[in-house]
Amino acid sequence: MPTFHWEDRAIEAPAGMSALEALLAAGVLIPSACRAGACQSCLVRASAGTVPPAAQLGLKDDQRARGEALACRLPVSDGLQLTPAGPSALAGELVLQRRLRPTPTVAVLYFSPPPGLRPLAGQLLHLIREDGLSRPYSVASLPEDEHIELHVRQVPNGQMSTTLCDTAPIGARLKARGPFGDCTLRDGEQDRPLLLVGVGTGLAPMLGLARDAHHRGWRAPVTLIQAGLNAEALYTPETLSRLSAWPMLRWRPVVLQGPAPEGGEVGDVVEAAKRALAETPEARVYLCGDAPVVNRLRRALFIAGASLSALHADPFTPTT
């Protein structure tokens, strides 16, 4: 049976088991969410041992050079030496200050951050319960804001979403790791149009980017497409209500099933995004929401003319 090391601890595990499974079985509270290599919650650093290419799929060149790997895709082996990846270090505790329920299935949460944690709009934070359960959430707030704003969709029987949407009292503390991700605005591009597409609670980072553009004095049009199954599935957080008066913002609600929302349309969000891209073909594009829809959007917009360097996607992977 192979033996690998986590920091100074030796752990035995059956051959073929992933490092994530072995660590959790050994009582190590390592963050994890999708367990499929998509969310990158379980990043570790291998200072020795064999790291197959599949364990680094989707990581950046500098991450691979540092020996970072996805624990869920990393098989245990003799000689493997693992430590937490740099960004996976705890950033501190978030304190829940306010919870709003714009719809029965969505909660908008406001947390006071620990000193030094000021994530950029569009980045991810991994929240961690006392039992080690971890889930990633996109940031809708700006570094200058008093609170960190996160949007959570309540999943039926969802472990973390039920905690955040219902059972966690005001004042509850959750550990946080991060921030992660580069779905953020680029400096010096105030004259370049933006196309932001948020499906469901994928609105959160897109709203954050729109707010960031407003804060930076964006001079080009900013198109924000908010998509959902129907009008009841759409929600309007306070920050979007305030931002909608900004002249540079084009807010376009799109639903798959009628009736049409006020000021919006019924149709496929992919077709709506393609029309918006045709209006501003030079736009930098940001996409967020459920993985199947985001992957369709990315492919369709690339075929429609968006360059890969201008396409930024943050697909949500289903978890409970």
Residue 215 resides in a domain? yes
**Res 320 pLDDT > 70:** no
What integer is the mean pLDDT of 22-31?
A: 84
Last residue of a domain, one of 180, 206, 223: 180
Note the pLDDT of residue 293: 95
What integer is the mean pLDDT of 77-96?
A: 81
Residues 204 and 310 in one domain: yes
- Among 67-71, 209-213, 266-270, the range scoring the smallest mean pLDDT is 67-71
CA–CA separation, 206 and 196 (whole Å):
6
What integer is the mean pLDDT of 200-217?
A: 96
Residues 77 and 98 in one domain: no
314-to-22, 75, 303, 305 alpha-carbon distances in Å? 28, 26, 19, 20
Query: Is 5 within 8 Å of 28 (Cβ atoms)?
Result: no
CA–CA separation, 309 and 11 (whole Å):
42
Residue 27 resides in a domain? yes
Record the tokens describing residue 137, joined without a space.
């959430």
Residues 198 and 297 in one domain: yes
Note the pLDDT of residue 80: 95
Last residue of a domain, one of 51, 69, 87: 87
Query: Is 99 within 8 Å of 174 (Cβ atoms)?
Result: no
Q: Which CATH number characterizes residue 290's domain?
A: 3.40.50.80
| Most confident of the ranges 28-32, 65-69, 197-201 | 197-201
Please write the tens of the pLDDT for every residue from 96-131: 999 999 999 999 999 999 988 899 999 989 899 988
Note the pLDDT of residue 58: 82
Q: Using a cut of 0.85, tell me whether the model's pTM lies above it.
A: no
Note the pLDDT of residue 66: 80
Last residue of a domain, one of 42, 64, 87: 87
Note the pLDDT of residue 218: 97
How sure is the predictor about 27, in pLDDT bands with cuts at 50, 70 and 90?
Answer: confident
Domain of 115 in residue numbering reads as 88-180
Note the pLDDT of residue 122: 94
Q: Which CATH number characterizes residue 48's domain?
A: 3.10.20.30
Please write the tens of the pLDDT for every residue from 233-269: 999 888 888 898 999 999 999 999 989 998 899 999 9
Note the pLDDT of residue 263: 87
Residue written as tokens 């736009």? 283
Query: Is 143 within 8 Å of 118 (Cβ atoms)?
Result: yes
What integer is the mean pLDDT of 166-181?
A: 90
What integer is the mean pLDDT of 50-61?
A: 88
Residue 188 resides in a domain? no
**Res 273 pLDDT > 90:** yes
Note the pLDDT of residue 167: 95
Residue 230 resides in a domain? yes
**Res 75 pLDDT > 80:** yes
232-to-106, 255, 259, 260 alpha-carbon distances in Å? 11, 9, 10, 10
- Residue 161's CB is within 10 A of a number of other CB atoms, namely 22
CA–CA separation, 35 and 319 (whole Å):
9
Note the pLDDT of residue 207: 96
